[in-house]
Structure formats: C-alpha cells, structure tokens
C-alpha cells in the first residue's frame, strides 16, 4: 500500500560535516569524491524520509564545484525531495561551506540525484505523491520534471551504446 502524500518539508535533511585532513587532497582542499559521498547520503536520507523504503541511487546529475573547500572548513548539506514520480524521486542537495572562525558562508554546489524505492526483494515500488505547500515547492517540482526528461533521454542513449558495444564484442 502506498503511503499518503507527503510534503517536501517532511523530507528535509541538514547534514553538517567538518572537512578533516583525511577528506582532503594534496592541495589542502576537499576531495570531490568525498563531497559526492556526502551528497549521496544526504539525498538518500531525504528520499527515505519521503518513501520509508530502501532506496538506490539511479543517477547523479553533473556536479559542478564552483569554489574549493579548504580542509578545516565546515560543510553544510541541505537536501529535500523536489519531485516524486512513480517509483523514483529527485532529491536536490545544496552544499555550502562555512568558515568555523568567521562564519562566512559560500554556495559551493547544487546537486540533483534520482533514487529508486525498492521492496525487500529489490523490486521498484511506487512512492507517495509529493504534496506542494507553496510556489517554491511547485517551481522545484516543475524544474525537476524538466531535468528528468533530459536525464532519461541521456540515460537511454548511454544504455543503447552500451548494449551495442556488448553485441559487437560478442561478435
């Protein structure tokens, strides 16, 4: 049985991390892969709060790190579900850096991820609808719908390429 509709607000996640030396690269800034890991976790928790199922990451849209994050900085990730489709959900994750000494903040990256809800045997299952509360929720859901169309088209092309490569290899 599908749960009742839920608001984007109910899925919100605030995750705060300190960038430790083990999270950094030789340049003394955060390793992009570590930030991507935190993004994945924050997005997954938002989607789990929405559907109360186990979820798998289907895709992560392009990540653009607009500014470096120095080791020693605080990183705050804010995530929420932007749109719920049939069995998948888009999570938006906003990443800000914060100086622990001055409190100065910077917007470093915004990420969009798609998670698929699954039952215990790994079958995709329907997720609750998203109940919009205001115009901001509606704008996010609308934009998420446009992103979905593009990402599914790209995924289809990649899948076809992969299948034809496999066919060629088999001869």
Binding site for ligand COA (CB under 6 A): 56-59, 85-88, 114, 116, 124, 151-152, 155
Tell the smallest beta-carbon distance from residue 14 to ligand COA (Å). 23
Tell the smallest beta-carbon distance from residue 106 to ligand COA (Å). 29
Q: How far apart are CA 37 and CA 77, in angstroms?
A: 11
Q: In the complex with ligand COA, which residue's Cβ is closer, 29 or 57?
A: 57
Q: In the complex with ligand COA, which residue's Cβ is closer, 1 or 149?
A: 149
Give backbone dihedrals phi and psi of 15, rounded to 5 degrees, phi first: -120, 125
Q: How far apart are CA 146 and CA 75, in angstroms?
A: 29
Tell the smallest beta-carbon distance from residue 101 to ligand COA (Å). 36
CB atoms < 10 A from the CB of 164, how many?
10
**Structure-token pair, residue 65:** 């790190």
Q: How far apart are CA 7 and CA 138, in angstroms?
A: 11
Q: In the complex with ligand COA, which residue's Cβ is closer, 40 or 98?
A: 40
Q: In the complex with ligand COA, which residue's Cβ is closer, 53 or 69?
A: 53
Tell the smallest beta-carbon distance from residue 90 to ligand COA (Å). 8
- Whether 68 contacts 23, CB under 8 Å: no
């Amino acid at each position: 049985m599908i749960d009742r509709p839920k608001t984007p607000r109910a899925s919100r996640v605030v995750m705060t991390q300190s960038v430790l030396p083990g999270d950094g690269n030789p340049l003394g800034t955060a390793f992009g892969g570590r930030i991507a890991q935190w993004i994945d976790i924050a997005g997954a928790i938002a989607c789990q709060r929405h559907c109360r199922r186990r979820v798998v990451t289907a895709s992560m849209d392009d990540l653009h790190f607009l500014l470096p994050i120095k080791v020693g900085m605080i990183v705050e990730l804010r995530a929420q579900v932007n749109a719920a489709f049939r069995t998948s959900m888009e999570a938006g994750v906003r990443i800000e850096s914060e100086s622990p000494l001055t409190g100065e903040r910077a917007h470093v990256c915004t990420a969009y991820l798609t998670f698929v809800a699954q039952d215990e045997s790994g079958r995709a299952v329907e997720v609750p609808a998203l109940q919009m509360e205001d115009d901001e929720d509606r704008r996010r859901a609308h934009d998420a719908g446009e992103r979905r169309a593009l990402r599914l088209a790209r995924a289809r092309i990649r899948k076809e390429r992969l299948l034809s490569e496999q066919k060629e290899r088999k001869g």
